[in-house]
Structure 1
Amino acid sequence: METAELRRAYEELLREVTLGGFGPPDGDGLNAEQVLAHLVANDELLTDATEAVLVGSPYAYYELDTIHRPQLDDLVARYGGLDGLTDRLRVTSDQLCGLTEQVGDRVDALVQTRLREAPRLDIDEALPWGRVLDIHGRVHLPAHADDLCLLREPAGD
């Protein structure tokens, strides 16, 4: 499976992170650290599912928008905030991309998938694993890069 698009999506997201200057979210949204914690946790889920696909094991992938804030806050604390989460995301994204390159003919393996990030994603069905990874690179990561951009405080504040 080609991973250039997935790697590019991670690079763009990490570029947003390195620009920094994040303020608090509007309303009930996630702050920048929580967004990165969510992505780190999701990468770990995607990695587990990809490893299962590679060995032919049945697996269900549930990426939930409702990952509880205490879990995200625990990850923020574990990795020491934004810098540590950024480093961890570089590791998890590289691991996932490396595994994705090995998927080969298993790209069409069906995996029960639940993606719920309203209003952007609402999927609950068996999908070919390559399609799930494509959604991650083309929809999920860019959406969170946009979230980070929106969290950036205007210059001069």
Structure 2
Amino acid sequence: MESGGLRQVYGAVLAEVEAGGFGAPPEGQLTAEQIVAHLAANDELMSEATEAVLAGSPFAYYDLETIHRPQVDALVAQCGGLDGLSTLLRATSQKLCTLVDRLGPAADTPVETHLREGFDLVVDDPLPWGRTLDLHTRVHLPKHLAQLRMLRDGPVRAPAPGS
């Protein structure tokens, strides 16, 4: 297994983060900072799972935002804003991509996987780890990239009074 597609999507996410200019999210949605922190926390979990697969150890992978919320909020505070979070995401994504490049045939190893991507994707079964990584590349990261773009583009705002 190789990480070319994964690196490409991370590049797009990081470029969006570095472009900045994010507005407030709609009620109940994540801020740009929380999205980036979530991705970094998720990268750490995916790296742990990939390391376990490479070592031949059993592992269960959970990507549930509600489990990560306290960790996400702590990461936002710890990193002190988007610059720090961008640096963290760059490091965690690089580590994950490097591990993915080492997987080879181990990508077929089944890993107990629990994913929730809204109502569109629900997985509560063992999946070959390479398949989970593919879902991360083709579904999870693009979903959050779209959220970041929405926060940057945001609704058209009326000009401030007196302008």
Instruction: Report the TM-score range of the alignment, normalised by the length of the smaller protein.
Output: over 0.9
1:141 aligns with 2:129: no
User: What residue is the counterpart of 1:101 in the other structure?
Assistant: 101
- Preserved contact between residue 110 and residue 127 of structure 1 (Cα < 8 Å): yes
State the alpha-carbon separation in 2 of the partners of residues 16 and 57 from structure 1: 36
Shift of 1:153: 4.3
Shift of 1:71: 2.6
TM-score scaled to structure 1, two decimals?
Answer: 0.94
State the alpha-carbon separation in 2 of the partners of residues 100 and 120 from structure 1: 25
State the alpha-carbon separation in 1 of the partners of residues 14 and 119 from structure 2: 23
User: What residue is the counterpart of 2:22 in the other structure?
Assistant: 22
Shift of 1:105: 1.1
Instruction: For structure 1, list consecutive stretches of 5 or more residues without a partner in the other structure.
Output: none
State the alpha-carbon separation in 2 of the partners of residues 81 and 12 from structure 1: 19
Shift of 1:47: 0.3
Shift of 1:122: 1.2
SS in 2 for 1:102: helix
Q: Which amino acid aligns with 1:130?
A: G
The sequence identity of aligned pairs, in percent, is 55
SS in 2 for 1:115: strand
Change (3 A) 1:46 1:68: closer
State the alpha-carbon separation in 2 of the partners of residues 141 and 93 from structure 1: 11
Q: Which amino acid aligns with 1:28?
A: G
State the alpha-carbon separation in 2 of the partners of residues 146 and 73 from structure 1: 21
State the alpha-carbon separation in 2 of the partners of residues 125 and 148 from structure 1: 29
The farther-off stretch of 69-78 and 93-102 is 69-78
Instruction: For structure 2, list consecutive stretches of 5 or more residues without a partner in the other structure.
Output: none
- Preserved contact between residue 10 and residue 141 of structure 2 (Cα < 8 Å): yes
TM-score scaled to structure 2, two decimals?
Answer: 0.91
1:114 aligns with 2:117: no
State the alpha-carbon separation in 2 of the partners of residues 119 and 151 from structure 1: 21
Q: Count the aligned residue pairs.
A: 157
State the alpha-carbon separation in 1 of the partners of residues 68 and 95 from structure 2: 24
Bigger CA radius of gyration = 2
User: What residue is the counterpart of 1:80 in the other structure?
Assistant: 80
State the alpha-carbon separation in 2 of the partners of residues 22 and 121 from structure 1: 27
